[in-house]
Amino acid sequence: MSFLGLSSRSPLSLNAGAACGVFQLTLGLIGVFRPQVMLQEIWGFKLSSKPSQELLLIECLQQLYGIRNIALGLMILAVRTFADSRTLGWVLMTDMLVAFGDGIIQKKGTGGGEWKHWSFIPVGVGMGALLLGYFD
């Protein structure tokens, strides 16, 4: 059996992989429609109460982040719907690069909170391995 030839036969693992996409889609929607909530509650930034050009820029960047998460979430759901478990497994494991990068950015920007993102890395890698058939 080749390294890339494995795949899971479990429909439960496919649906759990799709749940990762729904989670990411939800974060994206919050980022687009409630950028201040995402910035303050998820990312931990303290925002000024005075409207300014900088606050507008920060909110716009948060909305871009939200759109990225919506696209990633929909991609995961599309792969779940139209592809096999191997593809979904590799997509979920590759998506963990986003969680790793987000953790680095949060640590740089707020001085902490990186584990809000990094805690998903073992989940994504585990889901990817499950979908690749390593636990069948």
Between CA 13 and CA 86 the distance in angstroms is 11
pLDDT digits (tens, 9 = 90+) for 71-126: 999 999 999 999 888 999 999 999 999 999 999 998 998 899 999 999 999 999 99
Between CA 74 and CA 62 the distance in angstroms is 18
pLDDT at 2 over 50: no
SS3 assignment, position 51: coil
The confidence score (pLDDT) of residue 69 equals 92
Q: Which residue has the tokens 């790793």?
A: 100
Q: What does the mean pLDDT of the chain come to?
A: 86
pTM for the predicted model, two decimal places? 0.77
The confidence score (pLDDT) of residue 54 equals 80
